[in-house]
């Protein structure tokens, strides 16, 4: 396009010179042309205007492409922001049904196990009540980071709500989910020893469940949640006893 502009500009310049100095430019011994200089000038002017028009059209088209790309990136950014929880940077609950439905279909199609672990942060309400929601958000962020470190890249961590997280572990047996559970407990206990919030101990109650063929995502979640609740009930008396001991001492 730039080459055409240069050529058109050169032709236009030659046309202008021919228009005003025809005898010096068009010497009979050099070249013989039957086109009047005025017509040549007009032709070159039209060619130049056409090139300018094409360049402007190309620039306008390029601007439209850039604008479309910016809009696509903005839309993608908005979708991404809706996919991840702002506090914990894990998947939001809004994606859970589709995500779990896809993993269930894949597990049943391939005949492979699918494990779910529902996680609940023990004593989280005490952290919020005593130290505020900003500290509570910090604890949730740390717990979420630990959960992501304890699973594989093919696994999924979802913030189910409040202080609850759901781990979706494709191609994971009961033994494999037990290993993940032990790993999470160890990492959380290690973090709690070095970063305990005041005198509130942080631990995780977890309920494990293996998907059974034919069950819906809602049924799988309910089973994992029920098992987590049973463990949380078992942990509560121990926490209460430890709390009473601290106050008596």
Please state, in angstroms and rounded to a whole number, the distance separating the CA atoms of residues 61 and 13.
Answer: 29
Instruction: Tell me the CA distances in angstroms from 189 to 143, 206, 237, one per residue in order.
Output: 11, 14, 18
Distances, alpha carbon 197 to alpha carbons 43, 159, 191, 249, in Å: 83, 22, 11, 19
* DSSP string computed for 169-230: EET--HHHHHHHHHHHHHHHHHHHHHH-BTTB--EEEEEEEE--TT--HHHHHHHHHHHHHH
Q: Is 243 assigned a catalytic role? A: no
- What 3-state class would DSSP assign to 157? strand
CA dist 160 and 92 (Å) reads: 7
CB 115 within 8 A of CB 177: yes
Nearest to 171 by CA among 236, 106, 119, 222: 106
- What residues have CB less than 8 Å from 139, skipping those under 6 apart? 121, 124, 127, 197, 202
Catalytic residue of the set 85, 120, 163, 220? 163
Check if the beta carbon of residue 192 is closer than 8 Å to that of residue 184. no
The answer to whether 42 and 72 are in contact (CB under 8 A) is no
Phi–psi pair at 203, nearest 5 degrees: -145, 180
Task: Give the residue numbers annotated as catalytic, written as ranges.
Answer: 163
């Amino acid at each position: 396009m730039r080459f055409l502009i240069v050529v058109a500009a050169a032709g236009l310049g030659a046309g202008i010179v021919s228009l005003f100095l025809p005898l010096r430019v068009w010497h009979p011994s050099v070249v013989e042309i039957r086109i009047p200089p005025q017509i040549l000038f007009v032709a070159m002017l039209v060619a130049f205007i056409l090139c300018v028009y094409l360049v402007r059209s190309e620039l306008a088209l390029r601007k439209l492409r850039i604008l479309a790309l910016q809009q696509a990136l903005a839309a993608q950014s908005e979708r991404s922001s809706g996919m991840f929880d702002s506090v914990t940077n894990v998947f939001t609950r809004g994606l859970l049904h589709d995500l779990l439905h896809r993993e269930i279909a894949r597990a049943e199609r391939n005949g492979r196990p699918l494990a779910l672990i529902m996680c609940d942060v023990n004593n989280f309400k005490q952290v919020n009540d005593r130290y505020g929601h900003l500290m509570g958000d910090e604890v949730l962020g740390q717990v979420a980071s630990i959960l992501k470190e304890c699973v594989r890249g093919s696994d999924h961590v979802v913030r189910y709500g409040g202080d609850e997280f759901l781990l979706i572990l494709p191609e994971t047996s009961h033994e494999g989910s037990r290993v993940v559970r032990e790993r999470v407990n160890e990492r959380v206990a290690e973090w709690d020893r070095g970063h305990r919030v005041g005198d509130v101990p942080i631990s995780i109650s977890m309920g494990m469940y293996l998907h059974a063929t034919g069950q819906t995502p809602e049924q799988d979640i309910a089973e994992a949640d029920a098992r987590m609740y049973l463990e949380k009930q078992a942990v509560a008396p121990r926490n209460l006893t430890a709390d009473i001991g601290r106050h008596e001492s």
